[in-house]
Amino acid sequence: MAEIYTVAILGVGARGGDVYGTIINDKKDKFRIVSLCDKKPERLERFGEKFGVGKDLRFTDENEFFKEKRADLLIIATLDTEHARHLLKALEKGYDVLCEKPLTGSREECDRLVAAQKKYGGKVLVCHVLRYAPAFMKVGELLDSGVIGRLVLIDALERVGYAHQAHSYVRGNWRNTKVAMPMILAKCCHDLDLLQYYVGAECETVSSIGDLAYFKPENAPEGAARRCVDCKYKDTCAYSAVINYIDRWKESGQPEDSWPYNVVANAPVTEEKLLKAMTEGPYGRCVFACDNDVVDHQITIMTFKNGVKASLTMTAFVDGGGRRMVFHGTTGEIIFDEAENLISVRKYGKSREDIPIDRLLEKGYGHGGGDAGLINTLYDILSGVADERTSLKASVESHLMGIAAEESRLNGGRVEKVHK
């Protein structure tokens, strides 16, 4: 009989509980969730019941949790600034680990993580889930097949989207670099990870510019209130919390447990809970009156050791979300565009093949099938039959790109070496 791996989860929020825990809990022939740790008792209760974890193995205090090794695998899905500390503890305890991104914003901590893995030997898989998403994998296969000749340049666009920016990076968990990583790591570490995977060589130098252009007090419209529920623009402002959380929730059929409403109010979500969140919680704040400092637009350019160049533009100022990447080769180009549902392979002067992205997708989970793809591959990695695509080593490499990009941005776009 195939081995069943026991799993503990540290941080049972949106990622640890709703995504990884839920997918893993559906694969009872492969995994068994045996222990949970979360500071919030209501989350422990909810997911403890859902996953059938005994009350004696649910912890609100991480020190209690780390007193013993609770399972074969630990999933770390706490917030950005805790990942490195938790990963170090987990490796010391002898766990194999699935760790949320970003790992850290510090070069020294990258070194400490690599040294700890060398010392304690646990497997570490970082949740760069897009590498497990069929459409992104398809692009990798196309590049490897040589269909566009030699890759010369990648032009990448990360459309965060105005509503997602307001939710996560103005009002939410990733709004401020005191409590989260800078945007280039918090959001764009996926893009950097993909770029280095597609280029297939280490990045040498980066230069980056960008800042917070819009979501600050001086841009508030005349007479705006500090909370949208009290504001005269609540029915007209694109960023109105009333429109984005109450009206949209109603339009989408009043779901009890779906993003972003289940972040604003605990599931099961009700209108009453949402209204309370609007009057008391962080998500009801005016976007021009928050404690945010994270950039809303940023452009990064990169050179790689094999001569390939890349640019990455991140912007909040776009209607929908989704990534667009154009791969320019010597004999053709590939256009990947999530918003257009398209991978288009164009050989110069010859054929054009269009592949609708949704034809490649598995239904059910987010990130274009990447969340489910990651968990499927995780089992094979633990069993030693699949390669660690998003290993600690590969992930540290893209984190160094992000760290160098932020150093550059803070130095007015100065060209920075990735490896110092």
- Residue 335 or 396 having the CB closest to ligand NAD: 396
Counts for the chain of helices (H) and strands (E), in that order: 15, 15
Rounded Cα distance, 400 and 105, in Å: 8
Give the DSSP per-residue string, 356-372: EGGGTPPSSSTGGGHHH
Q: Tokens 């001086």 belong to which residue?
A: 218
First to last CA, the chain: 48
Q: How far is the CB of 78 from ligand NAD (least distance, A)?
A: 4
- Residue 127 or 231 having the CB closest to ligand NAD: 127
Take residue 141 and report the two structure tokens written for it: 């296969």
Closest chain position to ligand NAD (CB): 13
Strand partners for 311:
155, 301
Q: How far is the CB of 160 from ligand NAD (least distance, A)?
A: 12
Which DSSP symbol is given to 285? B
Q: How far is the CB of 303 from ligand NAD (least distance, A)?
A: 27
- Residue 10 or 355 having the CB closest to ligand NAD: 10
Rounded Cα distance, 209 and 216, in Å: 19
Take residue 43 and report the two structure tokens written for it: 């989350």
For the chain, how long is the longest CA-to-CA vector? 68
Q: How far is the CB of 86 from ligand NAD (least distance, A)?
A: 7
- Residue 85 or 216 having the CB closest to ligand NAD: 85
Burial 294-331 (b: 16+ CB within 10 A, else e): bbbbbbbbbbbeeebebbbbbbbebeeebbbbbbbbee
Q: How far is the CB of 224 from ligand NAD (least distance, A)?
A: 28
Q: How far is the CB of 403 from ligand NAD (least distance, A)?
A: 16
Q: How far is the CB of 201 from ligand NAD (least distance, A)?
A: 24
Do 308 and 201 form a contact (C-beta atoms < 8 A)? Answer: yes
- Residue 21 or 284 having the CB closest to ligand NAD: 21
Interface ranges with ligand NAD (CB under 6 A): 10-16, 37-40, 43, 62, 77-80, 82, 100-101, 127, 129, 173, 186, 367
